[in-house]
Amino acid sequence: STERKYMVAGNWKMNGNRALVDDFKKNLAVPSAVDVLICPPAPYLSLFDGAEFLVGAQTISEFEKGAHTGDVSASMLADLGVNHVILGHSERRQDHGESNEQVAAKVKLALDSGLTPILCVGEPLSVREAGEVNAYVQQQIDAVLDVCGDRFFDKAVIAYEPIWAIGTGKTASPEQAQDVHAFIRAHLLKSSSAAQQMRILYGGSVNAQNAKELFAQADIDGGLIGGASLKVDDFNIICQAA
């Protein structure tokens, strides 16, 4: 991770309120060597105007515009000045049945609108126990590469988030995470040398105590943080660990 700028991204999920937005705008300290990103629920996005960190959304519609009640489009985010979006989070895949193909369509729309997609991939416990992590993650990535091609490498960030580690307090060991990150990078390098510059974030129960050791791994370029992104003091420590 020597020549890649670290990114620490907070995924608030369906949490937070105006007071938390104000707390973060006031108290989040951005280290100069780190891209710090907060992804609040969509209704709060515009409250972050003037923030000294990056702001992103948690999903977008797979459609460009039109009769899709409740959905938010990539171009609307771009119009608001929001430049990042998490896509394919496992909770979207589970709660909303998002398929690899739908995630790929979203990544393409994000790129079309100039947004930086943070593509989440990661296996359920059964896949890890079956020893099929790499094949599973490869399939999730290839579905996106099939649709986006080389454009993916210009902007995208990948987040490896083993599902069994999300919100469970059970983090992947630094070695387990590094193994998958190295596999992902090697796989991407088969398509483009630009994969050398791509950030691959780790997500899954990262906290103020374990961040440093995870971020020290060669192919871990930062983190996607759920629970620990809701307390500015903890999140500041994680940003400093990057």
Residue numbers of the site for ligand PEP (CB under 6 A)? 11, 161, 166-167, 203-206, 224-228
- Annotated catalytic, 161? yes
Q: What's the token pair of residue 200?
A: 């691959």
Distance of CA 170 to the CA centre of its chain: 19
Q: How far is the CB of 123 from ligand PEP (least distance, A)?
A: 14
Nearer to ligand PEP, 91 or 219 (CB): 91
205 carries a ligand binding annotation: yes
Is the CA virtual torsion 230, 231, 234, 237 positive or negative? positive
- Write the CB contacts of 76 (distance below 8 Å, at least 6 apart in sequence): none
Q: What's the token pair of residue 204?
A: 């899954």
- Annotated catalytic, 89? yes
Q: Which of 62, 91, 123, 161 is catalytic?
A: 161
Comparing every residue's Cβ against ligand PEP, the nearest one is 226
CA–CA distance, 233 with 27 (Å, rounded to integer): 8
Q: How far is the CB of 50 from ligand PEP (least distance, A)?
A: 26
Nearer to ligand PEP, 122 or 152 (CB): 122
Tell the residue number behind the tokens 């080389």, with chain if given: 150
CB count in 10 Å sphere of residue 239: 26
Q: How far is the CB of 192 from ligand PEP (least distance, A)?
A: 26
Give CA separation, 154 vs 124, 192, 231, 239, in Å. 29, 10, 32, 24
Q: How far is the CB of 21 from ligand PEP (least distance, A)?
A: 19
Nearer to ligand PEP, 28 or 75 (CB): 28
CA–CA distance, 38 with 56 (Å, rounded to integer): 6
Nearer to ligand PEP, 38 or 224 (CB): 224
Q: Which of 62, 84, 89, 123 is catalytic?
A: 89
Catalytic residues: 89, 161
Binding residues for substrate: 11-13, 167, 205, 226-227
Binding residues: 11-13, 167, 205, 226-227
